[in-house]
Amino acid sequence: MENSISHTEHRDDTASKMGMWLFIFTELLLFGGLFIVYAVYRSIYPDDFHIAANQLNTFIGTINTVILLVSSMTVAMSVTALRTGNKSLTLKLLATTIFLAFLFLVNKYFEWGLKIEHHIYPGSELMLTLKRGELLFFGLYYFMTALHALHIIVGMIILLVIYFKIKSGRVTKDDNVLLENGGLYWHLVDLIWIFLFPLLYLIT
Amino acid sequence: MEQEHQHITSYRTYATVLAVLLFLTALTVYVTWFDFEALTIVVAMSIACVKVIIVISYFMHVKHDKLVFKLMIGMVFLLILVIFLILFSDYLFR
Amino acid sequence: MDISAIDNSFLKHGTKYKGILGWLMSTDHKRIGLMYMYAIMIFFVVGGLLGGLMRLELFRPGQDYITAQTYNAVFTVHGVIMIFLVVIPGLAAVFGNILMPIMIGARDVAFPKLNLFSFYIYVLGAILAIASQFLGKGAPDTGWTFYAPYSTDTNTNVVAAVLAAFVLGFSSILTGLNFIVTIHRMRAPGMTWFKMPLFPWSLYATAWIQLLATPIVGITLLMIIAERWFKIGFFDPNLGGDPILFQHLFWIYSHPAVYVMILPAMGVITEIIPTFSQKRIFGYKAIVFSSVAIAAVGYLVWGHHMYTAGMSTTARWFFSLLTFIVAVPSAIKVFNWISTMYKGSINLQPPFYFTMAFVFNFMIGGLTGLVLGSLATDIHVHDTAFVVAHFHYIIFGGMGFAFLAAIHYWFPKIYGRMYNNKLANISCAFIFGGFTLLYFPQFIIGMQGMPRRYFDYLPQYEWAQVFSFFGAIVLAVGVIIMLFNLIKSARKGAIAGPNPWNGKTLEWTIASPPTVENFEEIPVITEGPYEYK
């Protein structure tokens, strides 16, 4: 440790990564709270949940799962590409990831649009006539997927920032912890979806 | 401060991991066509857990990280599990 | 002694900017800690005045000065300010920020910019909390717990208050995150986990609770907002929701939050007692493990706030058992403190008096907690003034007194000057006396059935309310004397020197006040933190 002053300048990648992981924990607990609510109401209204879940489009859900898994792989590969010094491949892989994230949101848009066309959205007249468990299921469906979509958007912005930082050479082969952390955040979005997908689409 | 040794995972490994994850996704969709009654949720959640473990160990490369990361992650998932158990000591026995 | 130490210190030198910007934009952990301290002191006075207003209304039975609705709003904002703005950030954000990096031999926290960021999130939350009082259709009247379904139905401005709590929670999370990484990565060479002083240890345990419990209340508060705006019905029985689930989710955070308050307080006490006994702490490892055990088990006892809410009997047994278990590590700490004093060379100074008051109050608060933790007695005293007295004994008598002890202990380190000892002792006597007079009678009338959160009461409780009122006045006088003493001494007090108490932890080895960099050279640690000869 040098004697000069500047306590902000020394770099500790493990610390940055640990910080990112701790942040991921808070996100997991945030969604954990929602999963608790889901589990409780599912245990109270099992039949209503089945009926309501039947109305979700499993096909779109599955497509979105595949999209997220592939994007997870591309972002993981981009770290490898950067560490082996292949900058142009890194950028391509990141661009692919961001594109896939966008595709996910487009799918989500159509899925939500379809539901809203059928007058199933929070606060609609039809919703209030549904059975209590169905109402709660759709409430949870919108709340959980909306919060998840918000994380996708945040993740896209983070990856976009990192993309330009790599392009301008501020994130490099030897100083790549930012990309790694961005990747970790993106995997978190994937992790949550891995649980959301069967709980919302597959319990019929 | 020492810079940690960086483990570089090969593209091939990532591709293999993706293939496994896609297979598990297909499996979890496939099994819901059968009705295992109460077991459906158990099967679906078990597959999801396997997927999560794979994502954490390979994509998030915890497999090659320091022990302290593994301990922290384990602790957090254990905590969530315990919260569920305690909470359901209320809802299952009302 | 000369004044050069103060001129060279962080108080006079910013990191990047000069003047007021040097404070507002500073990433120096000591400056951020001090900004928290000033903000917290202001909110403490505001919250205290609101408490005084309630005592004034309760002075006589019947409606005297404020209406029932105003009374509801007053206890809500008193709770929100005191809990979210004062005691939760209290010790961790103030003394944790100022001293924890020094005590582990670091120049700053791991993420200094994030540290400043969390201060501004705190400010934003504070602004929201204040705005909630004046915007919309009237001040929130739900109590600081925001219990559903009332909080989703009432027309008052609940959303802003809930949002404030959410934002403040986020600030708390980021502080916790910063501390965990700092303690993991930035300990001085040679400082193994078990050579670390006990205040950082308690902050470490606290930080994990902040990190892992706060998100749950965050999502719960968001659900309240969603329910108000979109009629989703998460907690509305008319729409199929379960209001008890709200209580579960709320207390999953808010009970651990009590440990966020009290654990650093225990840490402070654990620093002060060896210094003023000039003796090594008794049972270092027992204290470490009890901190960790309190954090771990304390996370799982949330249900003891809900015995009468309609939980299953199984759950109530479970929570009662866990509550009794969490009392064990707390008691271990008290035994350790007392054993440390045994045969020590006790040095009776103001911080030590505050510490004694803490131990005394904490024992009363803790033991009455067991009355509330056991199923049968809780039914009797649930939602009475007994509960109010219990948690004020823990939060004010415990955490509050530890905060005052910490100020008096580290004041010479932070400002490089010494306060008037005699005045400090007098203020301690007033605060302790006033506190006891204020809250002890509430135990008694609580047992007799005086409900909490009522603005009116039967004449038979009047004697206690009168006692409490005068207690509040004595307490206020004590606080005024203390603030006068501290504010005056911060500018004009005698120069203190680097180590006025003959302490052994690292902060006493450097100049008072510390320089911007804390250490000229990072020390190498070879022995434990409390090696008194």
Q: Is residue C451 classed as helix, strand or coil in its secondary structure?
A: strand
Reply yes or no on whether the pLDDT at C201 is more than 50.
Answer: yes
CB contact under 8 A, A128 and C241: no
Percent of chain C topping pLDDT 90: 83
DSSP helix, strand, coil percent of chain A (3-state; round to 5): 80, 0, 20
Check the CA dihedral A173-A174-A177-A178 and report its sign: negative
**pLDDT of C238:** 86
3-state secondary structure A98-119: HHHHHHHHHHHHHHHHHHHHCC
Give dist(CA C72, CA C60) in Å, integer.
17
The nearest CA of chain B is from the CA of A87 a distance in Å of 15
Residue C232's pLDDT band (cuts 50, 70, 90): confident
* Domain A15-201 CATH superfamily: Cytochrome c oxidase, subunit III, four-helix bundle (1.20.120.80)
Task: Tell me how far apart the alpha carbons of residues A129 and C231 are, in angstroms, rounded to a whole number.
Answer: 13
What is the rounded average pLDDT of the residues B40-57? 91
The chain A residue lying nearest B51, using CA atoms, is A194
Are C315 and B83 within 8 A, CB to CB? no
**pLDDT tens digits for range C348-383:** 999 999 999 999 999 999 999 999 999 999 999 999
Check pLDDT > 50 for residue A6. Answer: no
Q: Residue A58 corresponds to which amino acid? A: T
Does residue A9 surpass a pLDDT of 60?
no
Interface confidence, given as ipTM, is 0.93
Q: Which chain C residues have a beta carbon less than 8 Å from that of B94?
A: 311-312
B chain contacts of residue C319, beta-carbon cutoff 8 Å: 86
Residue C373 is predicted with a pLDDT of 93
Asked whether the predicted pLDDT for residue B6 surpasses 90, the reply is no
In chain B, where the domains are located = 9-60, 65-94
In this complex, is the C-beta atom of B18 within 8 Å of any C-beta atom belonging to chain A? yes
Q: Confirm or reject contact between A65 and chain B (CB < 8 A).
A: yes
For C31-81, how does the pLDDT look when each residue is reduced to its tens digit (9 = 90+)? Answer: 999 999 999 999 999 999 999 999 999 999 999 899 999 999 999 999 999
pLDDT band of residue B4 (cuts 50, 70, 90) is low
pLDDT of residue A1: 33
Token look-up 């900004």 returns: C35
Beta bridge partners of C384: C451
Is the CB of residue A49 less than 8 Å away from at least one CB of chain C?
no
Domains of chain C plus CATH, in order, are 18-509 (1.20.210.10)
